[in-house]
């Protein structure tokens, strides 16, 4: 059986495709957007998250760790991430859930079994499954098998991908995919490299190829102040999107600063820490500007 690593299986997802859905978050990503809302999905391996405010100081983790990654000090505690192998023994004994393992290896069938628990809701709402992440296409066989099994059960299947792949890999998932959701973050390639670590060339090319295939598509832009919150940028993206005949709609997703706790828990720097959520007025204005390209536009 094919297996893979996921961080979360989120039920009652209502903004990731039509109807009531379950979203499976894959772990591992080939982009590094500095504002990412889901830092726990970036690395393809298990990681320990630490939430110190939940700690009750019971000390169980000191005893359980085989690598002395948790160390008791006179004036508190220390955690040596470099020693940690994310074995999860400490998390098992941490009833306060101050220590949590991000990332769980599952078989495709296990994932689908869990997703199918909400089948009654997919039936009333014409919903289904969405693969997200992280980047689902990095674990291609796992993603394909989950979608194939879901399709067999009559579920609507969707995938959220950054599309930063050779076209062949994207094309190979389409036989089990009803809907593709992809981000266009910036049109300018240099800026795109700067903000996400990769070129947008393949992304834009893949979007055109998807259009040629006629696969239903939703394009989204995470609206990040200082990155792409200008009328010019959004207008450019919207005009690009307007050329794609398979586009269902274009959606602006407001950046929110709520991920900083997750970065802290993983011991990661967060460059977007000081960025504020864009104002509602700005979202409304940019939505209107995008709509001038002659496409349907939504915003969160």
On the CB side of 171, CA atoms within 13 Å amount to 10
Dig out the tokens for 49 from the structure. Answer: 């998250």
The residues in 97-116 that bind another protein, with binding defined as CB under 8 A, are: 97
Q: Is 120 in the site for another protein (CB under 8 A)?
A: yes
Give bridge partners of residue 288 from the DSSP assignment.
Answer: none
Q: Is 260 helix (H, G, I), strand (E, B) or coil?
A: helix
Q: Is 10 in the site for another protein (CB under 8 A)?
A: yes
Query: Minimum distance between the CB of residue 76 and another protein, rounded to whole angstroms?
Result: 18
Q: Give the span between the Cα atoms of 41 and 31, in whole angstroms.
A: 11
Q: Is 96 in the site for another protein (CB under 8 A)?
A: yes
# chain residues binding another protein, by CB under 8 A = 26
Find tokens 């830092």 and name the residue: 39
Q: Give the span between the Cα atoms of 253 and 50, in whole angstroms.
A: 28
Task: Please say which residue, 23 or 196, places its beta carbon nearer to another protein.
Answer: 23
Find tokens 């590094």 and name the residue: 32
| Contact pattern from residue 174 through residue 203 relative to another protein, giving x for each residue in contact according to CB under 8 A and a dash for the rest | ------------------------------
On the CB side of 135, CA atoms within 13 Å amount to 19
| Contact pattern from residue 236 through residue 275 relative to another protein, giving x for each residue in contact according to CB under 8 A and a dash for the rest | ------------------x---------------------
Find tokens 């296409």 and name the residue: 137
Q: Is 30 in the site for another protein (CB under 8 A)?
A: no
Residue 112 CA from chain centroid, whole number? 18
Q: Which stretch binds another protein (CB under 8 A): 101-109, 123-131, 199-207, 234-242?
A: 123-131
Site residues for another protein per CB under 8 A:
10-15, 19-20, 56, 58, 60, 95-97, 117-118, 120-121, 123-125, 127, 254, 298-300
């Amino acid at each position: 059986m094919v297996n893979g690593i996921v961080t979360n299986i989120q039920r009652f997802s209502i903004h990731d495709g039509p109807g009531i859905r379950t979203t499976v978050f894959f772990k591992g990503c080939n982009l590094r957007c500095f504002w990412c809302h889901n830092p726990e999905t970036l690395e393809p391996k298990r990681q320990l998250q630490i939430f110190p405010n939940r700690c009750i100081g019971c000390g169980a983790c000191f005893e359980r760790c085989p690598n002395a990654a948790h160390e008791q000090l006179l004036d508190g505690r220390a955690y040596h991430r470099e020693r940690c192998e994310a074995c999860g023994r400490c998390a098992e004994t941490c009833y306060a859930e101050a220590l949590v393992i991000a990332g769980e290896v599952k078989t495709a069938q296990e994932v689908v079994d869990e997703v199918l628990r909400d089948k009654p809701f997919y039936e009333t709402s014409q919903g289904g499954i969405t693969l997200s992440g992280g980047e689902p296409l990095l674990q291609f066989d796992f993603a394909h098998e989950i979608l194939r099994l879901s399709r067999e059960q009559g579920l609507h299947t969707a995938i959220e991908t950054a599309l930063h792949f050779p076209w062949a890999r994207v094309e190979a998932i389409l036989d089990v995919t009803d809907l593709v959701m992809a981000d266009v973050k910036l049109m300018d390639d240099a800026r795109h490299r700067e903000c996400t670590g990769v070129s947008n060339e393949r992304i834009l090319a893949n979007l055109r190829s998807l259009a040629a295939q006629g696969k239903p598509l939703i394009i989204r832009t995470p609206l990040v102040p200082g990155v792409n919150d200008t009328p010019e940028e959004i207008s450019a993206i919207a005009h690009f999107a307007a050329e794609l005949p398979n586009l269902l709609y274009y959606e602006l997703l407001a950046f929110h600063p709520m991920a900083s706790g997750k970065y802290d828990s993983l011991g990661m720097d967060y460059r977007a820490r000081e960025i504020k959520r864009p104002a509602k007025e700005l979202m409304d204005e940019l939505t209107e500007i995008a709509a001038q390209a002659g496409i349907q536009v939504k915003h969160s």
